Chain A
Amino acid sequence: MKRNKYQRPVIDLGAERLKTSAMIASIAGADQRTKPAPFGHALIEVAKNRPDIVGLTADLAKYTDLHVFRDAYPDRFYQMGMAEQLLMATAAGMAREGFTPFATTYAVFAARRAYDFICLAIAEEELNVKIVCALPGLTTGYGPSHQATEDVAIFRGLPNMTIIDPCDAHEIEQAVPAIAAHKGPVYMRLLRGNVPLILDEYGYTFELGKAKIIRDGGDVLIISSGFMTMRALETAKALEKDRIKAAVLHVPTIKPLDVETIRREAAKTGRLVVVAENHTIVGGLGEAVAADLLRNGITPNFHQIALPDEFLDAGALPTLHDRYGISTEAMTKRVKQWLSR
């Protein structure tokens, strides 16, 4: 968006003003069930029987829920200071010696600042480092310095890297032991603080590398990852009012992609296929799915719900999610438009 910083905004003292969503803001709605710090609590559970697990952060223990681990295992916690290159290289050095480091920071700092270190010190050597990063995609109102809108695109290009984008607290609790058991480097997008609890209602269980149908429907197939699966489920409910039946295929493992399930579901005739992701439209789940389907001769009516290829605005998350089309309302509207064509 073109912005003019010399143009004074209209000030309406009577209007209700939403506040900028802070870094610690929860994406949970006011009436939603939540769980506090699911990553931190899951990690201390796994760490009980895994003395090889250590936790490292770059001055963001509290903001990545690693403070729970720090408080439970102070001697297994390493504060590396505000130095993300050092964080990743130190994790690599410890993994080299047989430990399983969980290294946490914000997704922007891992993907942008520390990339070379993740690439060569960790991924090239297939070291057992788990990189767990808060503020994925558009989950803060602080603007591009903190909005990791292209992290998945960056890490998808990295050989050996497993990429996980969990939906909710239920999934994070199951994903943490799974990535701890997995041999090799993992990048996990983290929802922290009071994290919504949704997938337990659907009897869902996380399996690394598996996409799963959360609900079925014959008109639309929404393929989604991260909290966009929560939005997809809300969208499916909203579409029911118009007797539109939407299926939701949740894809928490973005790399390696569960192409068998995706192809099987996308090949079922007569459904509009929509990929929804909390990520730029460039290089994320949507393009990964599109390329695989096309390579395999599967050509459904295909659309993407994703963030635009832009540096995004600062502000309140509900406003921004609406503005960029990833709120339930915006998503429902667009699916209906695509169906009516």
Chain B
Amino acid sequence: MTKAGHNISLADRAFNIRRHALKMGEVQGQGYIAQALGVADVLAVSYFHAMTYRPDDPEWEERDRFLLSIGHYAIALYAALIEAGIIPEDEYITYGGDDSRLPMSGMAAYTPGMEITGGSLGQGLPIAIGVALALKRKKSQSRVYCLFSDGEIDEGSVWEAAMSAGSYGLDNLIAIVDVNNMQADGPSKSILNFEPLVPKFEAFNWHTQRVDGNDIDALVKAFDAAKNATDKKPRIIICDTKMAKGVDFLEARERNHFLRVEADEWAKALEVLEAGRRA
């Protein structure tokens, strides 16, 4: 393990990720803030409990790979990369600006720690298949983590990848699905009913778990179980998360796929977040 700051709790990490994301959101005044707040606990457990990497060497051969398929969640991953020390904290102010290393949609060529160019949804998991097969060829101990979303599983290529991962028995692949039940045109379940997810992935020969994605203890257990499982199957952790988790007045907004937040609300959001942490 090569990680700094073991004495900082995962809850603090999640709080900090939310705080970095809100600060980046304020720079643009809008964006995929609700997703970032919702997935912060998942990223905290991924980056500060489950994964091995070197903050000063993002391309270290023995690192675990984290593939962000949902390019629009870049704001969330940048927040985690800032917290991990891979991106300097003061760079948040460039988010989404010209010549920034932090574009609105995540791209491999722009950002240290960003493994792939996501954004065309349905590409991350099939790319992860190639990375997982390659790591096995190299006899590497590294794992591939791939984060995608409930809306994204409408894409057929996700199921091509799901079938091949099960077929190849890719036990070095840990897929993470953020189920926040919100996509561009509305609640995901009302767009295409993707449920029931657990039996679907079980039927595709995956080691399958479903957890409350905002419960850090549950996430720790799930990631440990995924890593320690001995069956020759790809692992998936289906995480039910709450959009805008931690900022109640944003949680309450019905349509929060792409949030517009008034200039005076950002300070309030940070206050609410801070109050929640103390409570």
Of all chain B residues, the one with the shortest Cβ separation from A96 is B131
**Cβ-defined contact, A89 with B117, below 8 A:** no
Q: How far is the CB of A317 from chain B (nearest CB, A)?
A: 32
Of all chain A residues, the one with the shortest Cβ separation from B115 is A96
Interchain Cβ contacts within 8 Å, total number: 91
Of all chain A residues, the one with the shortest Cβ separation from B71 is A120
- Which residues of chain A have C-beta atoms less than 8 A from B133's C-beta? 78, 90, 93-94
**Cβ-defined contact, A83 with B130, below 8 A:** no
Q: How far is the CB of B236 from chain A (nearest CB, A)?
A: 17
**Cβ-defined contact, B120 with A90, below 8 A:** no
- Which residues of chain B have C-beta atoms less than 8 A from A92's C-beta? 127, 130
Q: How far is the CB of A39 from chain B (nearest CB, A)?
A: 22
**Cβ-defined contact, B129 with A97, below 8 A:** no
Size of the chain B interface, CB-CB below 8 angstroms: 29
Indicate whether A85 sits within 8 Å of B130 (C-beta atoms), given known contacts A97-B135, A125-B109, A125-B117: no
Indicate whether A85 sits within 8 Å of B157 (C-beta atoms), given known contacts A93-B132, A98-B134: yes
**Cβ-defined contact, B157 with A117, below 8 A:** yes
Indicate whether A99 sits within 8 Å of B134 (C-beta atoms), given known contacts A86-B161, A92-B127: yes
Q: Is A116 an interface residue (CB 8 A)?
A: yes
Separation of A101 and B127 alpha carbons in the complex (Å): 13
Q: Is A80 an interface residue (CB 8 A)?
A: yes
**Cβ-defined contact, A89 with B109, below 8 A:** no
Interface positions, chain A 99-136, Cβ under 8 Å from B, are 99, 101, 116-117, 120-121, 124-125
**Cβ-defined contact, A120 with B120, below 8 A:** yes
**Cβ-defined contact, A81 with B117, below 8 A:** no
Q: When A and B form their complex, which 5 residue pairs have the shortest distance between CB atoms, in order from nearest?
A: A93-B130, A89-B126, A97-B134, A90-B130, A83-B160
**Cβ-defined contact, A97 with B117, below 8 A:** no
Of all chain A residues, the one with the shortest Cβ separation from B138 is A97
Separation of A121 and B116 alpha carbons in the complex (Å): 8
- Which residues of chain B have C-beta atoms less than 8 A from A97's C-beta? 130-131, 134-135, 137-138
- Which residues of chain A have C-beta atoms less than 8 A from B122's C-beta? 85
Q: How far is the CB of B226 from chain A (nearest CB, A)?
A: 20
**Cβ-defined contact, A116 with B134, below 8 A:** no
A93 touches which of B119, B128, B163 (Cβ 8 Å): B128
Interface positions, chain A 303-333, Cβ under 8 Å from B, are none
Indicate whether A91 sits within 8 Å of B123 (C-beta atoms), given known contacts A81-B164, A97-B138, A117-B157: no
- Which residues of chain A have C-beta atoms less than 8 A from B131's C-beta? 93-94, 96-97
- Which residues of chain B have C-beta atoms less than 8 A from A116's C-beta? 120, 123
**Cβ-defined contact, A86 with B134, below 8 A:** no
**Cβ-defined contact, B127 with A124, below 8 A:** no
Chain A 141-179, CB within 8 Å of chain B: the 1/0 string?
A: 000000000000000000000000000000000000000
